[in-house]
Amino acid sequence: MGAALAFSIMNMLVKELSFSMGSGEIVFGRSIIGIIILLLIMKKFNIKFSNRDISALVFRGAAGGLSMFLIFIAISGMHLGDVAILQQLSAIFVLFLSAVWLKEKIPAKAIPPLVVIILGTVLLLRPWEYNSFSIYAVFAIMAAFLAAMAYVTINRLFKNGGHNSWEIVFYFLLCSTFIGMAAMLKNFHYPNNHEMILLVAIGLFSLLAQALMTQAYGLTSAVFVSFVLYLGVFFNALWGYLFFDEIMHALSITGGVLIIGGSILLTITKNKLRKKRIDVIKKE
């Protein structure tokens, strides 16, 4: 719950800052601040870099960095609640990428949840309304796909062994720094005191969310954590309503319920199949 809240506060601060700064500048500032804090933490607790799978670490960092950049652009032009809902599409992309990269078959039981998610996406985007189906929505969907690529890569890194979560986050922030730098080259202004405070807050809440989420996955069921993180959609919609006068369309709410519900069903299905595979391996 703390991670969901912290991520939603970060999005709210990004929305506020987007009125005066470009997404590239926000990504760059957020990443630099995150790197400084992260290196201090790693030095304090004597956490070392593995110097293994560098290409995979860079690939994960680049995919995650581009995802964050596109999400920040989407936040600047869409309702916070809608962006948060579209981010949940990463679950469906993870399934397809796992089938392609990890050679995992898409089970027949996963088809109904996928259909529900796709229907929810159509209702949320409302492509028959131009004002609803905007380039910002496309960016949010692309961000969800890139996030899924990052998640699958993280899974492979942990399976290979020898990596800690702080190292993976460092490469993500490092790649994000270069992405932000490239995006802001032609549109840069030095942040004033108010903007600097917001940038520092974004960096702090982002790292706090990452730390809380990591702890949660380490202490309890991954499925349970995934469900609780869906609270982030509610938090984002709440901040949008309270601070930016955003009111979600009825079809957006319906689509959001279908996307989240379908994602939950998909997660349950994947978890059951994983347990069956483990049981089979133990019997063998």
The pTM of the full predicted model, rounded to 2 decimals, is 0.86
pLDDT at 21: 92
Tokens of 13: 């601060």
- The answer to whether 97 and 148 have CB atoms below 8 angstroms apart is yes
- The fraction of the chain above a pLDDT of 90, given in percent, is 40
Cα angle at 262 between 258 and 263, to 5 degrees? Answer: 120
Task: Return the number of other C-beta atoms located less than 10 Å from residue 110's C-beta.
Answer: 18
DSSP H stretches of helix in 48-89: 54-77, 80-87
Q: Tell me the residue range of the domain where 164 lies.
A: 2-283
Confidence of residue 132 (pLDDT cuts 50, 70, 90): low
Question: What distance in Å separates the CA atoms of residue 148 and residue 90, rounded to the nearest whole number?
Answer: 5
Domain count within the chain:
1
- The answer to whether 215 and 42 have CB atoms below 8 angstroms apart is no
When pLDDT is averaged across residues 48-72 and rounded to a whole number, the result is: 92
Q: Fill in the DSSP letter of residue 47.
A: P
Q: Which of 178, 170, 166, 231 is nearest to 9 (CA)?
A: 231
Confidence of residue 176 (pLDDT cuts 50, 70, 90): very high
pLDDT digits (tens, 9 = 90+) for 182-233: 999 877 778 899 999 999 999 899 888 887 887 776 666 666 777 778 888 8
Question: What distance in Å separates the CA atoms of residue 9 and residue 2, rounded to the nearest whole number?
Answer: 11
Confidence of residue 113 (pLDDT cuts 50, 70, 90): confident
- The fraction of the chain above a pLDDT of 70, given in percent, is 90
What mean pLDDT value characterizes the chain?
A: 86
When pLDDT is averaged across residues 96-123 and rounded to a whole number, the result is: 80
Helix-helix angle 231-244:2-17, to 10 degrees: 30
pLDDT at 174: 94
Which range has the worst mean pLDDT, 35-49, 120-134, 172-186, 229-243? Answer: 120-134
Q: Tokens 């903007």 — which residue?
A: 195
Q: Which residues contact 268 (CB under 8 A, 6 or more apart)?
A: 223
Question: What distance in Å separates the CA atoms of residue 163 and residue 61, rounded to the nearest whole number?
Answer: 14
From the centroid of its chain, how far is CA 88?
A: 8
In order of 124, 203, 245, 248, the CA distances from 241 in angstroms are 17, 23, 5, 8
Helices (H) and strands (E) in the chain, counts: 12, 0
